[in-house]
Structure 1
Amino acid sequence: MQRRFLFLVALVVIGFAGAAYFFWPVNGPARNLNLTGDVVRGNYVIRTAGCVACHTDIEGGGAYLAGGLPLKTPFGDFIPPNITSDKQAGIGAWSLEEFSHAMSNGISPGNKHLYPSFPFDSYTKMSDQDMVDLYVALMASAPVAQKAADHSIGFPFNIRLSMQGWKRLFFHPERFTPDISKSGLWNRGAYLANGPAHCGACHTPRNIFGAAQTDQHFKGTPTGSKPFFPAIDAATLKERGYDAETLVDALTGGFDPDFDTLGGAMGEVINESLTHWTPEDLSALAAYLLDED
């Protein structure tokens, strides 16, 4: 009887320990948010971070940052929300700390877990200054009193609390750390690609739980998958005939070395993000993707 009691106690303890492990908050390093934000710089971050392509219904002529078209996934359709300064329909009521928490740790005000369709696993790598600049620019955007539709996802994926367990397994919040063996140009490209531009969100394959397979970084989605995103690792890009010049041309002009069109989602990224980048940042991105220092 005593052994059975001790066994049951052990099971309860293990159960509580397991629950505590999975539901303990997964937060990255503390940020320094006591910085002066700049709207001009922040508007540039809006472009480097791809905010417009996702959060604006370009096809339907929707208002700037007032909500985008559904992101169709095996788990359901995720609707990019209104991120204008409107206090009800948008994020105008968010504090800088709340905004940073959402971007860095995937938790919005009210302790609401965000789904990884929002690339907080990339945005967590952004610098403190970029985070503050982005916030002040969004707060300076024109308010649009049009609330985006809710996500269309079924059970059990509609249980947001399950995202805490997902984060415990797959989310590793951290800030970008430069590689001291590489040049400043290469590191700037690495920061952009893996941080604000979140290239891996599309071009890195995901497991059955929707988490990026980090050992297949930039290896693209499987052929025939919908949507399909090609590999953009250095070896594949060079095999396809890219050098720094042709890669920048493709990223801004929309044609690959074989003169095939880079359309679909990539076309929006080109039009609404990459064509707004500085020549220096485009060169940095090319240097990183081609791994040429």
Structure 2
Amino acid sequence: MRGLFRFGIIAAILGGAFIGAVASWPIGKEETLGMLQGDPYRGAYLARSGGCIACHTNVDAGTPALAGGAPLETPFGTFVPPNITADPIGGIGGWTMDQFAVALRQGVSPDGQAYYPAFPYEFYAAFSDQDIADLWAAMQTVPPAGQAAAPHDLGFPFNQRWSLKLWRAAFLQPVTDLSPVMGKSDAWNRGQELVNGAAHCAACHTGRNLLGGLKPSEQFLGNDALPGGNTAPSITATDLAAGGWNEAAITYALRTGLMPDGDVFGGSMAEAVRDGTSFLDEADRQAIAAYLMDGKGPAAQQPADNGMAGMAHEGMTMN
């Protein structure tokens, strides 16, 4: 009995030391954008294409724009998208643009804490400094909302934020390269940039493991376990074609929410159209359609060099 007690003490000490070591493990790296000037008009477009408004505005509750989104019910608990207005207390008005860049591209808060992957920062890792500056400039034009969003409501052990560092080490797959692909059209390459980056389509349309990590082998094959009991269908080129979709139908649906069979989008996709894709340029909606209906081709070809012209670079988002 004494031996078991002694073992328990040793285990507790070792466990505490492990937690302490992980908790003190630094993540994220400093970013410096300098005095880069942002274009708020382009930033607003980026916010629409990236789903910022859909996620961080609770339309049903009548909250101000970007003052906090509707709660997301998941097997891990309830996540509440925060207030990202420029209010210094309730929102992110006390941040610097450099801290904003770290949060958006690395998923790390100004105090060095990891964000939960309900915030799809891994898809924003390839955003340029100018993208960040433009989005930051746009955020400054939104009226500040002083009321902070409600905190997440998570059960143990998911409420132990230090454990996210282990999650990141095991599952984080940042999208860092959205370079144009040789042999593909400008529209396809623009679609690749939007689908795999700003619009983060895989966040909903790809299966996840029991701990919430994306399954690369199931990219775009759909997900039956979205927050709130929602589902997302497969959007591979083969399955889309089998369901009666073509480029024209996708382009139209991204503007109106109307599907080829006459039904309309529901759930989170309806919100994505209402607050996001319906505001995009028609050329960008067509680009998304061109990419999805072609997929990645037999294999991703070698990226073009930096001198390849013809890309309209207006891509972008934050939970």
> If the length of structure 1 is used for normalisation, what is the TM-score?
0.87
Would you say the 8 A contact 1:33–1:128 is kept in 2? no
Q: Which residue of 2 aligns with 1:250?
A: 253
Structural mapping, 1:140-151, within 5 Å: 140-151=141-152
Structural mapping, 1:29-68, within 5 Å: 35-68=36-69
Q: Which amino acid in structure 2 is aligned with residue 70 of structure 1? A: P
Would you say the 8 A contact 1:238–1:290 is kept in 2? yes
Of 181, 206, 209, the match for 1:207: 209
Paired residues in the alignment total 276
Q: Deviations over 1:133-158 (max 9, x none)?
A: 11111122111111100000011111
Would you say the 8 A contact 1:63–1:144 is kept in 2? yes
Structural mapping, 1:258-273, within 5 Å: 258-273=261-276
Structure 1 window deviating more from structure 2 (228-237 vs 180-189): it is 180-189
Structural mapping, 1:18-167, within 5 Å: 23=25, 25=27, 35-167=36-168
Change (3 A) 1:278 1:224: closer
Does residue 196 of structure 2 align to residue 194 of structure 1?
A: yes
Once residues 219 and 126 of structure 2 are traced to their aligned partners in structure 1, the CA distance between those partners, rounded to angstroms, is 16
Of 170, 182, 185, the match for 1:183: 185
Structure 1 window deviating more from structure 2 (128-137 vs 147-156): it is 128-137
- Runs in 1 of length 4+ with deviation above 6 angstroms? none
Q: Which residue of 2 aligns with 1:221?
A: 223
Q: Deviations over 1:233-268 (max 9, x none)?
A: 111111111111111111111121111221121111
Change (3 A) 1:154 1:224: closer
Q: Which amino acid in structure 2 is aligned with residue 138 of structure 1? A: M
1:114 alignment partner, SS class:
coil
Once residues 108 and 99 of structure 1 are traced to their aligned partners in structure 2, the CA distance between those partners, rounded to angstroms, is 8
Once residues 277 and 224 of structure 1 are traced to their aligned partners in structure 2, the CA distance between those partners, rounded to angstroms, is 25
Of 219, 230, 241, the match for 2:244: 241
Q: Which amino acid in structure 2 is aligned with residue 286 of structure 1? A: A
Q: Which amino acid in structure 2 is aligned with residue 148 of structure 1? A: A
Would you say the 8 A contact 2:82–2:91 is kept in 1? yes
Once residues 243 and 149 of structure 2 are traced to their aligned partners in structure 1, the CA distance between those partners, rounded to angstroms, is 40
Q: Which runs of 5+ in 1 are unaligned?
A: 1-11
Q: Which runs of 5+ in 2 are unaligned?
A: 1-13, 298-319
Structure 1 window deviating more from structure 2 (75-84 vs 194-203): it is 194-203
Root-mean-square deviation over aligned CA pairs:
2.4
Once residues 50 and 159 of structure 2 are traced to their aligned partners in structure 1, the CA distance between those partners, rounded to angstroms, is 26
1:231 alignment partner, SS class:
coil
Once residues 88 and 29 of structure 2 are traced to their aligned partners in structure 1, the CA distance between those partners, rounded to angstroms, is 26
1:250 alignment partner, SS class:
helix
**Percent sequence identity over aligned pairs:** 41
Would you say the 8 A contact 2:57–2:68 is kept in 1? yes
Would you say the 8 A contact 1:190–1:288 is kept in 2? yes
Q: Deviations over 1:107-145 (max 9, x none)?
A: 011112100000001111323221211111112211111
Q: Which amino acid in structure 2 is aligned with residue 280 of structure 1? A: A
Q: Which amino acid in structure 2 is aligned with residue 205 of structure 1? A: G
Once residues 268 and 116 of structure 2 are traced to their aligned partners in structure 1, the CA distance between those partners, rounded to angstroms, is 20
Structure 1 window deviating more from structure 2 (180-189 vs 102-111): it is 180-189
Once residues 259 and 224 of structure 1 are traced to their aligned partners in structure 2, the CA distance between those partners, rounded to angstroms, is 24
Would you say the 8 A contact 1:26–1:168 is kept in 2? no
2:194 alignment partner, SS class:
helix
Once residues 177 and 160 of structure 1 are traced to their aligned partners in structure 2, the CA distance between those partners, rounded to angstroms, is 34
Would you say the 8 A contact 2:33–2:97 is kept in 1? no
User: Aligned-pair distance for 1:177?
Assistant: 2.6
